[in-house]
Amino acid sequence: MSLIVQKFGGTSVGSIERIEGVADKIAAFKMQGHRVVAVVSAMSGETNRLVALAHEIQGRPVPREMDVLLSTGEQVTTALLSMALAKRGVKAKSYTGGQVKILTDDAHGKARIQHIEDTQLLSDLDAGFVTVVAGFQGVDPSGNITTLGRGGSDTTAVALAAALKADECQIYTDVDGVYTTDPRVVSSAQRLDRITFEEMLEMASMGSKVLQIRAVEFAGKYHVPLRVLHSFKEGPGTLISIEESNDVETPTIAGIAFTRDEAKLTVSGVPDMPGIAYRILGPVGDANIEIDVIVQNVGHDNTTDFTFTVARGDLARAEEILRAVADEIGATSVQSDSKIAKVSVVGVGMRSHAGVASQMFGALASVGINILMITTSEIKISVIIEEKFLELAVRSLHTAFGLDGDPVEE
């Protein structure tokens, strides 16, 4: 008899009809003999409704009170789901974050979980209850209600799974698993049966918005097996775990990730001297602009070119800062380019397989795509290319690394 934490997001509980559907799903698991902890979000639209009420009063409402307000959204869902379970003859009991006691720090709106009391939950589970816990919320040491920030319900689920030593944490979403790449770009993209936490983090940070990054990190840290499943369709989903697949047939690469959200800045004719990178990037970082890929070319004539990428929304501000810096340090020019895209191949397999980089570059070259920048990590190689080549690049790499399956039916 295993202990399973199941998390249902706002869309999955967006109406009474859907809540009844979730109750059916949980009841079926219970019938199979599992102990179930359900973690729920607010019904879709509810959080926005509450935010709108607060904003009628003030543009930036008191964070403590914002948390008191928003936390009611999940509380409503816990009560309704518990009722729907009771209607099916399944003993159920709702919990707010405070009732569980999910202890957090006091950073309202973005609190971090510090400890979870498991006594009451375990005793209710032993007594045969399905425990329905409000996601996204906790209490600080003084008993004030806190929230973990948007998407925090995933984190609640993983933290509960870790605290209760659950056998699996299942995240129900609107996709049926993690794919080798975005099926809207490559119709032959395949659902992965399993993926490692590290791979998932690299895939997620590139815009595969299946799971909150924090939740994946947390799950990895505490070795909680995570499974992504579809809320309304049957299927095994994708298991995210610490173990790599032992299957020799498994491709080296787990998937192809990509993003269009970046822009590129180049400072040319930079005097090539120690500390120059800091003088350029320091002011950008001070302005709270995150920098992603950085490339410094080998210098010639005692000058060098310095190129890096930022989120597209930060481009104008970053450019303004750089122009001032360029004047100061005597660089010749600043150029910007927002028509770029980043494409990455991700896979823990590349640790033990040589030649992934050359295979990647070869595949891109064979379709005539010019690489603007390259950056590598232990399990990922990313290239910056012109945005117009994005789809072509993703499709070519997907094929080159043997990821194509049968075209996905929509």
> Which residues contribute to the site for its own copies (CB under 8 A)?
16, 19-20, 50, 53-54, 56-58, 61-62, 64-66, 68-69, 71-72, 75-76, 78-80, 82-84, 86-87, 92-94, 96, 98-99, 143, 145
Tell me whether residue 37 or residue 215 sits nearer to its own copies (CB atom). 37
Of residues 113 and 145, the one with the C-beta less far from its own copies: 145
Q: How far is the CB of 53 from its own copies (least distance, A)?
A: 6
Residue nearer to its own copies on the CB measure, 108 or 214 = 108
**Strands of the 194-196 sheet, one edge to the other:** 92-95, 130-134, 35-40, 3-8, 168-173, 226-230, 238-241, 194-196
Q: How far is the CB of 57 from its own copies (least distance, A)?
A: 5
Q: How far is the CB of 185 from its own copies (least distance, A)?
A: 40
Is the CB of 42 or the CB of 166 nearer to its own copies? Answer: 42
Q: Of 136, 172, 170, 171, nearest to 151 (Cα)?
A: 136
Nearer to its own copies, 64 or 279 (CB): 64
Q: How far is the CB of 65 from its own copies (least distance, A)?
A: 4
Burial of residue 231, with CB atoms counted within 10 A of its CB: 0-12 exposed, 13-18 middle, 19 or more buried? buried
Tokens of 19: 């809540």
| CB of residue 5 to its own copies, shortest distance in Å | 20
Backbone angles phi, psi at 310, to 5 degrees: -135, 170
CB of 90 to its own copies, least distance (A): 11
Q: Would you tell me how many other CB atoms lie within 10 Å of the CB of residue 89?
A: 8
Q: 84 or 373: whose CB is closer to its own copies?
A: 84
CB closer to its own copies out of 27 and 276: 27
What's the rounded Cα separation, in Å, for the pair 363 and 397?
6
Residue 321 — φ and ψ, nearest 5°?
A: -60, -45
Structure tokens at 253: 């690469």
At residue 37, the 3 state secondary structure works out as: strand
Token pair belonging to 270:
């930079």
CB of 291 to its own copies, least distance (A): 36
What residue ranges in 260-404 does DSSP mark as E strands?
262-271, 291-296, 303-311, 333-337, 340-346, 373-377, 380-386
The structure tokens listed for 287 are 């302005």
